[in-house]
Amino acid sequence: MIKKAVEDALNEQINAEFQSAYLYLSMSAYFQAAGLSGFANWMRIQYQEELAHATRFFDYVNERSGRVKLAPFSEVQVEFSGIVDVFETTLSHEQMVTDLINKLMDVSIQESDHATKSFLQWFVDEQVEEEANVGQILNNLTLIKGEGQGLLMMDREMQTRVFVNPFPAKA
């Protein structure tokens, strides 16, 4: 059985992951409207990853005989001042998610919930990768000032990203 403090923190994370998915889907729509289908694809994959994360947290709470409590979505940003702004927002958002995961890890340690601590380690490592990936894209966009042929080359590269579910269904 899961302790209430851990269950509450996991429920906050479930809702944060769904909110993240919603934000990235909004960013995908922004890029699609701007004619940047590669960047739209990249954000659509981010959306799918966040849904997978939320679902994994959801399933974990249920596996531990906890109770999942979903909350309504908050309104997300739909307008941006340009492509660099989108990725600055994305990096800031990923840093916030990292903070949430770290706080969740702190709760699991405080509650001596070793199963949750073990479960969370994948997400701790994932956030390092997420921040690094977004940081690299932002660095590249800054170098090309978010425009010109460099932007078109990046858009083509972003089109190649595909979703790979990190949590395949159990047989």
* pLDDT of res. 126: 95
Please say whether the beta carbons of 90 and 20 come within 8 A. Answer: no
Q: Express each pLDDT in 16-26 by its tens digit.
A: 999 999 999 99
Averaged pLDDT of the chain: 95
* CATH number of this structure's domain 4-159, picked from the four choices 1.10.580.10, 3.30.9.10, 1.20.1260.10, 3.10.105.10: 1.20.1260.10
| Type of residue at 120 | L
The 3-state DSSP class for residue 77 equals coil
Q: What is the pLDDT of residues 39-96, one digit of tens each?
A: 999 999 999 999 999 999 999 999 999 999 999 989 999 999 999 999 999 999 999 9
Q: Report the pLDDT value the prediction gives residue 171, as an integer from 0 to 100.
A: 57
Residue 171, helix vs strand vs coil: coil
Q: What is the mean pLDDT of residues 159-168?
A: 91
CA dihedral 93, 95, 152, 157 (to 10 degrees): -110
